Each structure stands twice: as structure tokens, then as C-alpha cells.
């Protein structure tokens, strides 16, 4: 009989107790996996940002519009190489619960600036520019709904309506694009701003934000100050920042996700550490005579210590692995539903590796005290307790 078999037998000698401990660890790692996946998705926006890209929004709030006239004025600012604009559409497909990220963009300039984020082919770019009702669809979104090139798709808005009272715009899929960066996401759609602006019932000639590229990151500060000073004390004051800072500020509005992850997971792990640690101390105490017998049969103190630590490590790995599996299923199931708010939600290899590191630490921390007690146990004393 090898040591692993003994470890497994000892762990499950009281099945109910073992199952309850596994479930408690499972819950902790499921929480960790889900929260870590959300944190990674929230921070992905910073990863895809470019150092020479700036975002211009309304100073009051990024949900407030800006005049489209700002486009030409900002383009003339020294240090600005390219500029484009976009408007949030607030889209859904067929049913309001089917969120779709849709942005109405200036066709030519937006595709040029975002070419480092998305792989637009020359053919789809030309088709989008030529077709006023055309739409470029990300591959993830197209696969989600089974859309193909040439499909006529009715996209509705939860914010805007047309002049005829309808909330639905019919668009034609003229291109399906892929991501240009590994951390990017293609669960979105672009439609033409001119088509959207001429048909909507309110907000005409206003835009949501402007995106621009500077000559180099070195001139960012000067360009930012120039743009904001240009529109200071106007009815539409601006707030300009780097794309990375803008994405970080946007995520910050949802709360300090990293702190939430740390506090929730920390509380869960401390609780489990006390529960499992105390339970293992009791389990080893119950087996005092058995440990003495093992030592009498020639098992060294070090071997007994390794066996007890092996129990807690096996317990942590079983519970943690099941918890990660549950978290993976949850993030996969919610990926499309939450695509509008948390694009790129997934269980990454980095999260899995971190989780396995925590499993090892948890197993060692909970098993150290009972393992040392077993190591120090003297045969005569143990037999005397019986």
C-alpha cells in the first residue's frame, strides 16, 4: 500500500466531513475565479489602449454629447495626426435582453484609427464606406447570432428612435472582422454615423466622443491642454485624456474591482483556513493511536508529516479544481449576456495558475499544525492516551 492510497483513505474515512470541507473550498475558489475573471475583463481596456491615442468627452459626463462641429476644430490642433468620432447606440437584437454593443462611427476615419485594434480588410472597409446602411460586425457577435455577409439585420436602440417613431434600424452586414490584438474583443458592431444621424428623432449633429491620434506620446499633454482650453467656458466644455486613463476611469466608476476581489477572496480564505485547519487538527487527534501504530511499524516522523500535509493538499486541490471548473462554466455561460458591460469575460491561464498557487498555500497552511503535531507525537504517549 503506497502513501497516496493511505492519504486518500484517511481523507475520506469520514465522507460527510470530507465532502463538507471540499464544498467550502469549492465555493471559495468559485468566487475567486469569477471575480478574478471580471477584474481581468475590466482591466483589458487598459491593455488594448495606445499611448498616442486621446479621448475627448463632455466635461460633465461621458454620457453627455458634444457638437459634431468640434471634429474639424480638433483636427486643426497642432500635434493631432488623426481624429474621428463615434456615438453610443444602445443596441439590442430582437429583445431588449439581447444587448448588442453598437457604435455609430464616421466610416473612413474611425476605421483608420482603430486598425490596430481590429483587422479590417481593404474590401470590407471599402464596402462599409460605400454602403450608407452597411454594418461591420465582430466575429464573436456574428457567430453568436449566426449572421453572415449580406444579411439584413434589424438593430434596435434602447436610447434613440427614428423620426417615424421606430426604434429599429435595418443594416446590412458588409464585413465580419477579427481582433488585431490577443486581448481584444469582437463582440460589437459598427454602423455609419451619417445614416444614424439623419434618421434619428433627436440629438442631430451631436456625437458621443472623439478619438484622436497625436504625432507622438510626447505631445499628449500639450494637445490635451490645448483642446480643453479651446472649449473652456463654452456650453460644451471638454475633458480630454489618454485612452488608457479614460478606460481606467470608466472601470473605476464600477468600483475598485481589485479591492473587491482582495477583500472577498481574503475573507473567504481566512474563514476556510480556520475551518479546515481546525477540522484537520481534530482529525489527526482522532487518529493518535493509528499514527503511533504507523511509527511502531517503522514510519518515520517525516513520512507521517508528509502524509498529513498530503491530505490537506489533496483536499485543497480537489475543492479548488471543482471550484475553478464551476467558475469557468459560469463565465462561459455569462460571456455573451454580459458582453455589453464586460467584454472578454473568460477564465485565463493566469487566473488558473494563480488559483493553483493558492490551493498549494491553503493546503500547506491548513495542514502545517496537525502535521507538526503528528511529527512530534511519541509512541508511548499516544498509546497511553488510548
295-338 pLDDT tens trace? 777 788 788 788 888 888 998 899 999 999 999 998 887 776 55
DSSP classification of residue 12? T
Measuring CA to CA, how many Å separate 22 from each of 26, 271, 284?
6, 14, 18
Q: Is 187 helix (H, G, I), strand (E, B) or coil?
A: coil
**Residue showing cell 498557487:** 357
Residues 112 and 200 both lie in one domain? yes
Q: What are the backbone angles phi and psi of residue 179, rounded to the nearest 5°?
A: -80, 150
Which neighbouring-strand residues pair with 55? 211, 241
Same domain as 299, residue 159? no
Using CA atoms of 206, 208, 214, 217 in order, give the dihedral in degrees to the nearest 10. 150
Q: Minimal CA–CA distance to 124: which of 107, 142, 105? A: 107
> Where does a domain end: 236, 271, 294?
236
Q: How far apart are CA 327 and CA 26, in angstroms?
A: 10
The verdict on 334 and 276 lying in the same domain is yes
CB atoms within 10 A of CB 313: 19
Examine residue 183 and state whether it is found in any structural domain, yes or no: yes
Q: What is the pLDDT of residues 109-146, one digit of tens each?
A: 999 999 988 999 999 999 999 999 999 999 989 998 99
Q: 40 with 65, same domain?
A: no
Residues 37 and 71 in one domain: no
In a domain, 116, yes or no: yes
- Give the integer Cα–Cα distance in Å for 77 and 71: 10
Q: What phi and psi values does residue 299 have, to the nearest 5 degrees?
A: -70, 125
Instruction: Examine residue 49 and state whether it is found in any structural domain, yes or no.
Output: no
Q: Is the domain of 218 the same as that of 261?
A: no
DSSP codes joined into one string, 239-300: EEEEHHHHHHHHHHTT--HHHHHHHHHHHHHHHHHHHHHHHHHHHHHHTHHHHHHHHHTT--
On whether residue 114 sits in a domain, the answer given is yes
Rounded-to-integer distance, Cα 266 and Cα 32, Å: 9
Return the residue matching grid coordinates 446602411.
133
Of 181, 178, 211, nearest in space to 193 by CA: 211
Q: What percent of the chain has pLDDT over 90?
A: 48
Q: What residues form DSSP beta bridges with 251? A: none
Q: Which pTM does this prediction carry?
A: 0.67
pLDDT, one tens digit per residue, over 7-45 is 888 778 888 888 888 888 898 888 888 888 877 776 665
**Within a domain: residue 346?**
yes
Residues 67 and 167 in one domain: yes
Residues 217 and 69 in one domain: yes
Rounded Cα distance between 310 and 35, Å, is: 28
Range of the domain at 232: 60-236
Cβ neighbours of residue 152 under 8 Å, at least 6 residues apart?
A: 170, 171, 172
DSSP 203: -
> Looking at the 3D structure of the chain, how many domains does it have?
2
Tell whether 30 and 94 lie within a shared domain. no
Our measurement of the distance from residue 111's CA atom to the centroid of its chain's CA atoms, rounded to an integer in Å, reads 25
99 and 160 belong to one structural domain = yes
**Boundary residue ending a domain (201, 236, 271):** 236
Do 264 and 358 share a domain, yes or no?
yes
* One domain, residues 35 and 72: no
pLDDT of residue 223 exceeding 60: yes
Q: Shortest CA distance to 183 belongs to which of 40, 33, 355?
A: 40
pLDDT at res. 261? 67
Task: Let me know if residue 249 belongs to a domain.
Answer: no
Amino acid at each position: 500500500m503506497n502513501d497516496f492510497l493511505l492519504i486518500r483513505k484517511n481523507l475520506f474515512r469520514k465522507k460527510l466531513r470530507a465532502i463538507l470541507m471540499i464544498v467550502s473550498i469549492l465555493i471559495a475558489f468559485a468566487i475567486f475565479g469569477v471575480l478574478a475573471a471580471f477584474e481581468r475583463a475590466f482591466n483589458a481596456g487598459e491593455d488594448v489602449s495606445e499611448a498616442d491615442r486621446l479621448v475627448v468627452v463632455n466635461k460633465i459626463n461621458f454620457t453627455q454629447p458634444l457638437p459634431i462641429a468640434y471634429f474639424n476644430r480638433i483636427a486643426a490642433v497642432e500635434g493631432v495626426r488623426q481624429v474621428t468620432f463615434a456615438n453610443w447606440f444602445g443596441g439590442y437584437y430582437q429583445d431588449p435582453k439581447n444587448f448588442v454593443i453598437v457604435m455609430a462611427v464616421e466610416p473612413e476615419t474611425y476605421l483608420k484609427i482603430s486598425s490596430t485594434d481590429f483587422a479590417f480588410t481593404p474590401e470590407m472597409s471599402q464596402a462599409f464606406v460605400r454602403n450608407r446602411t452597411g454594418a461591420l460586425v465582430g466575429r464573436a457577435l456574428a457567430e453568436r447570432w449566426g449572421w453572415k455577409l449580406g444579411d439584413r439585420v434589424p438593430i434596435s436602440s434602447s436610447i434613440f428612435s427614428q423620426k417615424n417613431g421606430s426604434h429599429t434600424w435595418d443594416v446590412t452586414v458588409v464585413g465580419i472582422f477579427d481582433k488585431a490584438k490577443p486581448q481584444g474583443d469582437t463582440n460589437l458592431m459598427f454602423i455609419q454615423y451619417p445614416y444614424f444621424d439623419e434618421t434619428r428623432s433627436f440629438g442631430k449633429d451631436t456625437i458621443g466622443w472623439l478619438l484622436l491620434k497625436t504625432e507622438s506620446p510626447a505631445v499628449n499633454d500639450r494637445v490635451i491642454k490645448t483642446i480643453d482650453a479651446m472649449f473652456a467656458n463654452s456650453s460644451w466644455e471638454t475633458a480630454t485624456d489618454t485612452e488608457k486613463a479614460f478606460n481606467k476611469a470608466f472601470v473605476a466608476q464600477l468600483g475598485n474591482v481589485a479591492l473587491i476581489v482582495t477583500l472577498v477572496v481574503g475573507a473567504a480564505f481566512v474563514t476556510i483556513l480556520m475551518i479546515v485547519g481546525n477540522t484537520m487538527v481534530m482529525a489527526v487527534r482522532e487518529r493518535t493511536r493509528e499514527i503511533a501504530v504507523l511509527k511502531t511499524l517503522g514510519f518515520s516522523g517525516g513520512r507521517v508529516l508528509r502524509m498529513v500535509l498530503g491530505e490537506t493538499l489533496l483536499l485543497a486541490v480537489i475543492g479548488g479544481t471543482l471550484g475553478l471548473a464551476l467558475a469557468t462554466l459560469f463565465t462561459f455561460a455569462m460571456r455573451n449576456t454580459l458582453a455589453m458591460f464586460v467584454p472578454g469575460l473568460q477564465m485565463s491561464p493566469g487566473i488558473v495558475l494563480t488559483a493553483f498557487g493558492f490551493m498549494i498555500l491553503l493546503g500547506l497552511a491548513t495542514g502545517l499544525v496537525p502535521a507538526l503535531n503528528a511529527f512530534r507525537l511519541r509512541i508511548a504517549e499516544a498509546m497511553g492516551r488510548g
